Amino acid sequence: MGELSQQIEQSVAAANHPTRQIPPLEKWQPKLSGTMDVVVKANGEWWHEGSQITRPLLIDLFAKVLWSEVDDNHHVQYFLKTPVEKWQIQVEDAPLLVNQVDVITKQFGDTSKPVLQFTTTQGDVVIADEQHPIRLGLPFTNATSDELLKQKQASQPYLLVRQNGDSALYGLIHRNVFYHLIKLGELVEGEEGTSLILHSGDSTFTLTMTA
């Protein structure tokens, strides 16, 4: 873990970004190094060899090099990736957790519009738009999750936080954040169930919650 931390830190620093940025993971093509006993819990906690990782800087470092791959059966696997190593880790639900939403104003041409800005516990700041959609359920399943969790995931709200090449990393929207979104959005009753309609700039998202 110590050697990997140093390697990740060097790789992130080599990206030479003045602010928090994700390194160009899509350009790194290392072979699989093996499996590491790291688990990202459904509540956003990170654990290593049965002990919770409590150092925020270490979690932030690992979160910057998260990588996902989806097979032909739509099963997703997650990795920590550097230019020379790729270690598979376990993710119970989504690899990121959205714990804050703010309504801010953004300029669109000659007009300004309110947008939904989300923040993850790992420090990602993302505005919901066509490249970062809000949705119910994930477009793939985690082969290591049990059936109960998979059923729960289907009705939970997620935000696409990062897209690096073919790697898509979603953030689970925390329950308190979702309650706030309900206040910000519009609830509409339809034949399929109750839909929450959210507007963010020029983008509109419809989340239909079936009975």
> Mean pLDDT over residues 134-157, rounded?
84
Q: Is the pLDDT of residue 13 over 60?
A: no
Choose between 111 and 18: higher pLDDT. 111
pLDDT band at 16 (very low <50, low <70, confident <90, very high): very low
CATH code 2.30.270.10 region(s) in the chain: 96-209
pLDDT band at 2 (very low <50, low <70, confident <90, very high): low
> Mean pLDDT over residues 15-33, rounded?
78
Distance, in Å, from the CA atom of 145 to the CA atom of 78, rounded to the nearest integer, reads 13
Choose between 192 and 12: higher pLDDT. 192
> Mean pLDDT over residues 132-138, rounded?
96
Q: What percent of the chain has pLDDT above 90? A: 72
Q: Which CATH number fits domain 2-91: 3.20.20.150, 1.10.260.40, 3.10.540.10, 1.10.3720.10?
A: 3.10.540.10
Q: Which residues pair with 123 in a beta bridge?
A: none
C-alpha dihedral (21, 23, 25, 31), degrees to nearest 10: -140
Going by CATH, does the domain composed of 96-209 fall within 3.40.190.10?
A: no
Q: Are 168 and 129 in contact (CB under 8 A)?
A: no
> Mean pLDDT over residues 107-132, rounded?
94
CATH code 3.10.540.10 region(s) in the chain: 2-91
Distance, in Å, from the CA atom of 131 to the CA atom of 108, rounded to the nearest integer, reads 16
State the chain's mean pLDDT as an integer.
Answer: 89
Q: Please, what is the end-to-end C-alpha distance for the chain in angstroms?
A: 45
